[in-house]
Amino acid sequence: MADRTLLFVKPDGVKRGLVGEIIGRFERKGLRLVGLKMLTFTQELARKHYEEHVSKPFYPGLEEFVLSGPIVAMVWEGDDIIELTRTMMGKTKHTDAAPGTIRGDFAFSTTENLIHGSDSLERAKIEIANFFKPGELAA
Ligand code: IDP
Ligand code: MG
């Protein structure tokens, strides 16, 4: 199976009507969409998904933000999927994200930065399983 990653449009992207814009960028790049759903984070899921950040000072604000509305979770497939999607997302901090990237073009906050993407294939496997059952993904 080709490499896969877990991406989601965060609540700010859904509220701002940027779901189509964000999905379209990955489609036009030639990546393959293999899973898609809208859901709202629970506190339990947020703590599991962001386990590496739970003890950091920004975590309470991050948790409040990700619980603030629905997200659109997706699984995308393609060669070099992690590097490619991370490059297209742009850097975490809104002021560092280059124009032409999703965050560089649309984000004006470090916390509310529109999109999540797994940062390694190992994390992608864990994160995909946090959001999708195997039967919910295309073969
Ligand atoms: P990433 O989303 O680019 O992988 P991470 O360092 O994994 O960045 O952080 C996860 C999320 O936590 C970020 O996307 C952002 O929403 C939030 N975050 C990270 N660092 C900060 C910070 O210094 N202040 C506020 N929020 C932050
Ligand atoms: Mg991260």
User: Domain extents for the chain?
Assistant: 3-133
Ligand 1, atom 18: closest residue by C-alpha: 111
CATH superfamily of 3-133: Nucleoside diphosphate kinase-like domain (3.30.70.141)
**Mutational pocket test of ligand 1: of 82, 92, 101, the residue with most ligand atoms within 8 Å of the beta carbon:** 92
The pLDDT of 37-43, averaged and rounded, is: 98
CA nearest neighbour of 126 among 48, 33, 62: 48
| 62 confidence band (pLDDT: 50, 70, 90) | very high
> Is 63 close to ligand 1, i.e. is its CB under 6 Å away?
no
In degrees rounded to 5, what are phi and psi of residue 133? -85, 150
| 1 confidence band (pLDDT: 50, 70, 90) | confident
